[in-house]
Amino acid sequence: MTEPARTPSKILFHYHPWSRAAGVRWLLEELEVPYDVHFVDPNAPGGAPEEYRAIHPHKKVPAIEIDGQILTERAAITIYLADRFSAGRLAPSLDDPRRASYLKMLVYNDAVVDPSVALHFRKIDHKPSEYSFGAYEDTIRNLVSHFAAHPFAAGSQFTAADTQLASALSFTIHQLKAVPADPNLMAYLARVADRPAYGRAQKLDAELMETVKAQHTS
């Protein structure tokens, strides 16, 4: 039996713009759903307040509250929000053949790209066969060959997977310089950069950080 569609409560987004959560802000802007932002500062002395552990067990961002439920883990948040608010558009529907590559790249971003790039950036050696995410070089090769063959994460169509993967690649190429500025990856980032929701997310992030700065100096 299918449940009738519910009007969601306003989303509360626990967030810091300079973080792994930035792709979720971009997604929320793509979805054009109303949400409030609760600024969380994991970099404050002592980290985020202890009460925040009731929202996120590791005191990390992102987290969302919706309809009295708390959701953490950006891949889970992305899948949930895109299915609920953009099924068939930013989330390929269940019977769409593109759903397989959509889910694959979305999960690959967190399960493989993030840890393998983080260890590479920190110059931490690891034996690829002993870790679920394998070798950094394989990760980069896989991403480059994917974007040499396809314009977007799921193939031919922009999806919610791109808000996460492009956000991560942009940060790790431009800021961390932990991923090479390969022409295929740069062309991918250029393809998604002119999306109005991406521009809005960047503007809102800059405004939020200005407000936070002003509060600290007043």
Q: Residue 131 is which amino acid?
A: Y
Report how far residue 63's alpha carbon sits from residue 28's, in angstroms, rounded to the nearest whole number. 12
Structure token pair of residue 214 = 């002003």
Residue 91 touching ligand GSH (CB under 6 A): no
For ligand GSH, the closer CB: 141 or 177: 177
Q: Is 19 an interacting residue with respect to ligand GSH (CB under 6 A)?
A: yes
Of 141 and 174, nearer to ligand GSH (C-beta) is 174
Q: Answer yes or no whether residue 115 interacts with ligand GSH by CB under 6 A.
A: no
Beta-bridge partner residues of 152? 155
Establish if 47 lies at the interface with ligand GSH (CB under 6 A): yes
Number of H helices, E strands in the chain: 8, 4
Q: What is the dihedral of CA 195, 92, 76, 43, to 10 degrees?
A: -10
Interaction between residue 191 and ligand GSH (CB under 6 A): no
Q: Does 74 bind ligand GSH (CB under 6 A)?
A: yes
Which residues inside 54-73 make contact with ligand GSH, applying CB under 6 A?
59-62, 73
CA distance 129 to 150: 28
Q: Note whether 110 binds ligand GSH by CB under 6 A.
A: yes
Binding site for ligand GSH (CB under 6 A): 19-20, 42, 47, 59-62, 73-74, 110
